[in-house]
């Protein structure tokens, strides 16, 4: 290759590459031009599933930021614990907190809860659909009723809540819906046959509403939390297949408080895809966002070829793990 040709080819490819690098850095470093929520003070936030784990962390941080918060859950004792924790550290700058016993799976119960919440604290500005349960097992280690229960709570519970709260937001032409999905709605593997489909359904609903509500004044967002140190996580590990535990051995275990902080920061900036401070989920989102808004399109373009190759390597590794457990006879079907 002649020196002239080399220089020409270098300029042809190096120029666009350098431009993408600069664009990626600019998009990453620049502050949001206009915050969706400069402050949460006096906003009414409705947290469905606000008594434990991530929902509780969101509620407490919102109250501390001056928001008025309604939390709902099916058990009154857990709700009262959350309310007492919020009130124990209350200051004049903190918002109010109101609790309602309600079951997201019951559309009538949720309708009544929305009415009760708005009667006490005014129109709902922000809706968080947090309640959910992870059932970790292989397909036939879970009964069909348990599969249906996962969909009933994780998807239809979310649908019921949005169905009840959205008409008011439409009428007021303002508001936000934050769907809490899971990293298992970006990619899934052995052990999540009863859980992941319900979270993919939540993701599908979020994408449909993001399109449907364009120009309505109602914004839609979706969060993909990874592994979190919650009471539910401890229960998951009891039934989690050995293969699943091996795949997740090096995953970061986040605190609900850290995840809540990340979600609220992204909400303030109007971010659609929220990866909850998890770098691996952020990279996974680069190859699985489809046609939805991207957090940094220039970075995604730069990383895409590398991430496609990485995805193949990871999938190959997962397959080897499953095969190894089968050969070692730790596969639950062989044990049965």
Annotated catalytic sites, by residue? 195, 199
**Buried b / exposed e along 228-258 (16+ C-beta atoms within 10 A):** bebeebeebeebbbbbbebbbeeeeebebbb
Question: To which residue do tokens 């680069």 refer?
Answer: 286
Contact 229, 274 (CB under 8 A): no
Question: To which residue do tokens 């920061």 refer?
Answer: 265
* Rounded CA separation 151/111 (Å): 20
Q: Is 91 exposed, middle or buried (0-12, 13-18, 19+ CB in 10 A)?
A: exposed
CB within 8 Å of 129: residues ≥ 6 apart: 48, 49, 104, 157, 158, 161, 162, 177, 178, 179, 180, 202
Helices and strands in the chain, H and E counts: 13, 7
CB within 8 Å of 83: residues ≥ 6 apart: 71, 97, 99
Q: Is 170 helix (H, G, I), strand (E, B) or coil?
A: helix
How do strand 273-274 and strand 218-223 relate by DSSP bridges?
A: parallel
- Report CA-CA distances (Å) from 250 to 20, 98, 246, 312: 32, 39, 8, 18
Half-sphere exposure of 296 (CA within 13 A, CB side): 21
CB within 8 Å of 266: residues ≥ 6 apart: 221, 223, 274
* Rounded CA separation 158/279 (Å): 26
Helix%, strand%, coil% for the chain, nearest 5: 55, 10, 30
């Amino acid at each position: 290759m002649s020196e002239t040709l080399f220089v020409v080819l270098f300029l042809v490819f190096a120029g666009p590459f350098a431009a993408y690098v600069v664009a990626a850095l600019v998009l990453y470093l620049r502050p949001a031009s206009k915050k969706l929520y400069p402050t949460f003070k006096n906003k009414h936030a409705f947290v469905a599933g606000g008594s434990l784990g991530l929902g509780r962390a969101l509620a407490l941080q919102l109250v501390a930021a001056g928001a008025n918060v309604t939390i709902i859950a099916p058990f009154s004792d857990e709700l009262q614990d959350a309310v007492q924790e919020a009130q124990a550290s209350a200051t004049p700058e903190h918002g109010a907190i109101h609790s309602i016993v309600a079951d997201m799976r019951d559309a009538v119960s949720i309708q009544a809860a929305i009415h009760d919440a708005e009667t006490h604290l005014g129109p709902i500005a922000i809706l968080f659909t947090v309640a959910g349960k992870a059932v970790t097992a292989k397909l036939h280690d879970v009964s069909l009723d348990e599969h249906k229960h996962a969909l009933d709570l994780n998807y239809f519970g979310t649908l019921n809540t949005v169905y009840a709260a959205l008409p008011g937001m439409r009428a007021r032409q303002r508001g936000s819906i934050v769907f809490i999905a899971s990293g298992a709605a970006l990619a899934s593997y052995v052990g999540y046959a009863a859980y992941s489909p319900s979270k993919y359904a939540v993701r599908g609903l979020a994408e449909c509403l993001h399109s449907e509500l364009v120009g309505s004044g109602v914004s839609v967002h979706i969060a993909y939390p990874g592994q979190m140190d919650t009471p539910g996580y401890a229960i998951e590990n009891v039934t989690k297949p050995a293969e699943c535990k091996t795949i997740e051995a090096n995953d970061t275990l986040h605190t609900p408080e850290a995840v809540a902080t990340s979600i609220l920061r992204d909400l303030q900036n109007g971010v659609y895809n929220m990866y909850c401070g998890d770098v691996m989920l952020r990279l996974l989102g680069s190859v699985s966002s489809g046609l939805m808004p991207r957090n940094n399109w220039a970075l995604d373009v730069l990383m895409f070829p590398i991430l496609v190759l990485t995805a193949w390597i990871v999938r190959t590794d997962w397959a080897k793990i499953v095969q190894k457990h089968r050969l070692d006879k730790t596969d639950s079907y062989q044990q049965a």
